[in-house]
Structure 1
Amino acid sequence: MVKHASTFIMDTKLIKQFGAKIGSYRIRTERQKKRLRYKDFDKQLLELDFRLNILYKKRWNLGWEPLTPPFQRGWKRFFVLKEDVATGKQAVFFEQLLKKINTTDYSWRKDFTIKKRKRGRKVYLAKEQHLQAPGERNFKKHFSPQEQLFFYEQWRTQYGYRSKHFVFSEPWRFTLTVQPHMISKKRIIDPELSSLIKQTEQYLEKNCYNRRLAKLRAGRLGYKHYRCDPKSKELIFSKKKNVPQWLDEIKSEQFED
């Protein structure tokens, strides 16, 4: 194996200074030291990303608090059993089945119409809503053999891929109903926790560390056209802090709880 010229010069200087025994010791070259610094920085970035994910979960698990009084925000539409099915002998069976394939849609209009342009004029058309058509994997896992008898196979193409789905064969058993969409609770917000998360996100974005993290996680960048603007004036962060200091701050925030 051919060594670099700088390695020979360094070995000669070391041998002259410390003797021939210095060759038996593990002395790193400048290139190895630089590579170790990069590896150590990558480990710190991954740890910072790990701590940030813990903060995300902590913010998500803060819980809810009731709103007094609740307020209405548009309308919601979902499927319910028809009257004759709800009073029949198989009402419980179809009610349990409906819970697995039901869908809920939201709109600001009670009639659930959407505005489209037709022949140069704006018209309101009825918005369609269908039951769920589970895929093959979820269908076999979550539906009993008796429930599977009410479905038929259908191949669908989505995003360029064909996949098998199972469609309910008796949709006439259900009907749509519209109700006010009431907001009766809101998430609990911790201002200090939200501020720490936002500052950390801005720090990673400002220094273009998100690109490096994406490569460390998946081995490649997820978006080819992603660009980071380090001169953005909208991002405000402390220039004196580095990655180890952010790690210490996040760790102290987590240990306080």
Structure 2
Amino acid sequence: MEDTGSEFSLYDFSQIADATDNFSPGKILGQGGFGPVYKGIFPDGQEVAIKKLAARSRQGLVEFKNEIQLVAKLQHRHLVRLLGCCIHDEEKILIYEYMSNKSLDYFIFDPNRRTSLNWMIRLKIVEGIAQGLLYLHEHSRLRIIHRDLKASNILLDSELNPKISDFGMARIFPSDATQTKTSRLVGTYGYMAPEYAFEGLLSIKSDVFSFGVLLLEIISGKRSAGFQHYGEGEFHNLLQYIYKVTPTVKFM
């Protein structure tokens, strides 16, 4: 392992292979658009999460570069810490701090596991996500829009503290701009703000909308996308249902 002079390090491929038992299927924590994520253990006992770029993934390569350029410059207790990377021939790998309680969706959408998240814990999770998002939008060296804030991208540590992860789709936003227009839409259906999904208008409000959807999921335990409720009518997502059952509020 080579230290680059900060907390970000360059790792040897052999070290990563040893830590994951040569990328054993039994070490896989999950699978994302970028590629598989493995649990690794270094000789000193340090546990890490190792994200391996899927072979021949052009989109993954873009996200790989984006994460290195952005996350290595960000430091906040509610953002997952990028420890380093490994580039070996065609292999491209990112190494993150290990989060022992997986992701928020693992708990919140499971009827049994979500009982361990009482209202005080859920409030702590919501506050932590909000603090991390505020840092990205207002207090970091770069003003960043995440663009894919969702339950599976909120990781939980051993004390159920939340950390925002997966910055492959994040975008640096000019500090003097209020919004911009893009023809390349990225993100997840059910979390996208309408003006972004339909018109390509992007701003920090896009993340705030996603945060609002996430808040509803944390409260209800229901997924936004694919939610169905049958009663007076059929609602195809959680937002439609909430809009229908919430009394109209008039502001003076």
Q: TM-score, normalised by structure 2?
A: 0.19
Higher share in helix: 1
- Normalising by structure 1, we get a TM-score of 0.19
Select the structure of larger CA radius of gyration: 1
Larger relative contact order (CA 8 Å, sep ≥ 6):
1
